[in-house]
Amino acid sequence: MLRPGPLGFGLRRRVYTERMAVEAPTTPLDAARIKLDFPILMREVNGMLPAYLDSAASSQKPRQVIDAIVDVYETSYAAVHRAVYTLGERATERYEAARDTVTAFLNAASRREVIFVRNATEGLNLVAYAYGLKFLGPGDVIVSTEMEHHSNLVPWQEVARRTGAELRYVRLTDRGELDTESLEELAGADVKLVAATHVSNSLGTVNDVAAIARWAHDHGAVMVCDGAQAAPHRVVDVQALGCDFYAISGHKMCGPGMGALYGRADLLEAMDPFLTGGGQIAKVTLEGTTWNELPYKFEPGVPPLAEAVGFAAAADYVTRIGLEAIHEHEQVLTAYGWELLSAIPGVNLFGPPPPDRAGILSFTVDGVHAHDVAQILDAEGVCVRAGHHCTQPAMRHFDVVATSRASVYLYNTTDDLDRLAAGVDRVKRTFGV
Ligand code: PLP
């Protein structure tokens, strides 16, 4: 059975002919129509429309976000929080309105709890440096996990090294899930902080953040959650999750390079700033400085207005389409992609099987390096990431140095996954494996 591409780009249909066994499901979103919002996905690359399957690294941007950014520069740009003239006030209003949007997006209790940062990495480092260095010391235990992105692992190694705290890890099972027994083994230790991801970017595992946060609190610890792979794809309610810190990344959710850190107000109040300079101070004398109120205490320098407005436009965009629908759409696509890839001999998939996993298909092809897989897929117009995905400990657990990773988002169709599977067939033919 031939299935037409979303826009009927006929040349590409040729590659589907070998994949006739698996019926393409229908998904809750009209992704072919959603694709039209994304100018880059409508532009040929090497003579083909891209099957963009690398949103876990960074997502594409819809016209609505691009227009919001252009509009800021054309109508409202000036230095935020600094100017008394009308344009400056407009700039400040738009920046703070963006914060209100992100506050609502995360269901934080207060806008004081939402700090704009450069990306999820900076948000996690902010907690490490401003909380970890101040409140942790020798004898304290930090718990992280074997599946963390380096952004939620290396900062804790640094905190441990500088404070004398001990860093211990929750291990992985062979399904790529957290080994709850290894968490319980840590129960007797003097745990002061637990750092865990919501969704693994290399395995697609979805962690029960609410349960981990409860465990942390029961043991007198705070919980830091890396939400970079969750917030773009599912409803995130930081109050319901009960975590103390939650970092997200705008560029993975249809926005520009910008992130946000949610932090519990009483903890943020107790912390000292991570970076210091203009704007985050109350008073500076030659003898010393007092800090501005939340959230400004953590936002030194002239704020990135266009990025914040674009970030809010992205939050509005995915909210309007509906995060439940996006999640459901990705669940269907993931199950389909899993089925297609697992039917190919010599393809090994990592992480727990569907359902209840994120839209990240990490795989190896026996006898072929992950980078070669990605390169041949590129020749077919299929964009996937290859490498360790900044999760070297997780790769080591599975005894691989790299995987190829296809990740889906709201604009992906079953057609994109057909092209992925056909491309993997081509990889096998090319290498004779
Ligand atoms: N955490 C996870 C799970 C990620 O996948 C990534 C990026 O791939 C990050 C953190 C870092 O995100 P950012 O680029 O926003 O710093």
The mean of the pLDDT values for the chain is 94
Mutate to test the pocket of ligand 1, among 249, 311, 405 (most ligand atoms within 8 A of CB): 249
Instruction: Give 154-187 pLDDT, tens digit per residue.
Output: 999 999 999 999 999 999 999 999 998 998 899 8
CA distance 306 to 71: 9
Q: Is a pLDDT exceeding 90 seen at residue 18? A: no
Q: Which of 5-14, 78-87, 220-229, 321-330 has the lowest mean pLDDT?
A: 5-14
Give distance in angstroms: CA of 121 to centre of ligand 1. Answer: 6
The pLDDT value recorded for residue 22 is 79
Q: Which of 50-59, 184-193, 194-203, 420-429 has the lowest mean pLDDT?
A: 184-193
Q: Is the CB of 121 under 6 A from ligand 1?
A: yes
Q: Is a pLDDT exceeding 80 seen at residue 11? A: no
Q: Is the CB of 228 under 6 A from ligand 1?
A: yes
Q: Is the CB of 149 under 6 A from ligand 1?
A: yes
Nearest residue CA, atom 12 of ligand 1? Answer: 120
390 is catalytic: yes
Q: Is a pLDDT exceeding 70 seen at residue 4? A: no
The pLDDT value recorded for residue 20 is 53
User: How far does CA 130 lie from the centroid of its chain?
Assistant: 22
The pLDDT value recorded for residue 400 is 97
Give distance in angstroms: CA of 18 to centre of ligand 1. Answer: 35
What is residue 173's DSSP assignment? Answer: P
Residue of 69, 63, 24, 71 whose CA lies nearest to 43: 63
Q: Is the CB of 201 under 6 A from ligand 1?
A: yes
Q: At what angle do helices 414-431 and 323-342 cross, to 10 degrees?
A: 30
Q: Which residues touch 115 (CB under 8 Å, ≥6 apart)?
A: 123, 126, 260, 261, 262, 263, 268, 295, 298, 299
Average pLDDT on 233-243 reads 98
Average pLDDT on 393-414 reads 97
Q: Is a pLDDT exceeding 70 seen at residue 17? A: no
Q: Is a pLDDT exceeding 60 seen at residue 56? A: yes
Average pLDDT on 251-255 reads 98
Catalytic residue among 243, 254, 383, 390: 390
Q: Is the CB of 120 under 6 A from ligand 1?
A: yes
Mutate to test the pocket of ligand 1, among 148, 201, 407 (most ligand atoms within 8 A of CB): 201
CA distance 380 to 202: 23
CA distance 143 to 339: 35
The pLDDT value recorded for residue 19 is 54
Secondary structure in 3-state letters for 267-329: HHHHCCCCCCCCCCEEEECCCCEEECCCCHHHCCCCCCHHHHHHHHHHHHHHHHHCHHHHHHH
What distances in angstroms separate CA 86 from CA 89, 124, 301, 302, one per listed residue? 5, 35, 20, 17
Question: Domains in the chain, start-ordered, CATH in brackets?
Answer: 9-36+322-431 (3.90.1150.10), 65-320 (3.40.640.10)
Q: Is the CB of 256 under 6 A from ligand 1?
A: no
Contact 268, 318 (CB under 8 A): no
User: How far does CA 116 lie from the centroid of its chain?
Assistant: 16
Q: Is the CB of 183 under 6 A from ligand 1?
A: no
Q: Is the CB of 202 under 6 A from ligand 1?
A: no
User: How far does CA 346 lie from the centroid of its chain?
Assistant: 29
With a pLDDT cut of 90, the percent of the chain lying above it is 92
Q: Which of 4-8, 25-29, 67-71, 272-276 has the lowest mean pLDDT?
A: 4-8
Give distance in angstroms: CA of 30 to centre of ligand 1. Answer: 27
Mutate to test the pocket of ligand 1, among 200, 311, 390, 407 (most ligand atoms within 8 A of CB): 390
